[in-house]
Structure 1
Amino acid sequence: MASRDKWWVYVARCADDTLYCGIALDIEERIAAHNAGTGAKYTAGRGSLV
């Protein structure tokens, strides 16, 4: 059975000027996790998303 949840696909710029692409069900929660250093390994050491 297919999920009816709406997924977000996003491209964000990290503080070191690199780009990160991700997916999330709750975009605000996911961005907060990235900014807290608890998101993806890639973004954890690159500062806040801008």
Structure 2
Amino acid sequence: MRFLGQGGKVSDAKMIWLFREHLVQAGAVENLFARFDKHLAKAGYLAMGG
């Protein structure tokens, strides 16, 4: 984080997992990934999985 000039608290796996769970509960995950996929496709990338 110092290398990137970022200070403050670093997100751990639990925080990221909880954030994803909130997205799932809100029904936002599918829409979020669909929008991200469109953005990648527009830039010329094809996401095959992962």
Whether the TM-score (by the shorter chain) exceeds 0.5 is no
TM-score in terms of structure 1 length: 0.31
Name which structure has the greater RCO, CA cutoff 8 Å, separation 6+.
1
Give 1 or 2: higher strand fraction.
1
TM-score in terms of structure 2 length: 0.31
Instruction: Kindly name which structure, 1 or 2, has the bigger radius of gyration based on alpha carbons.
Output: 2
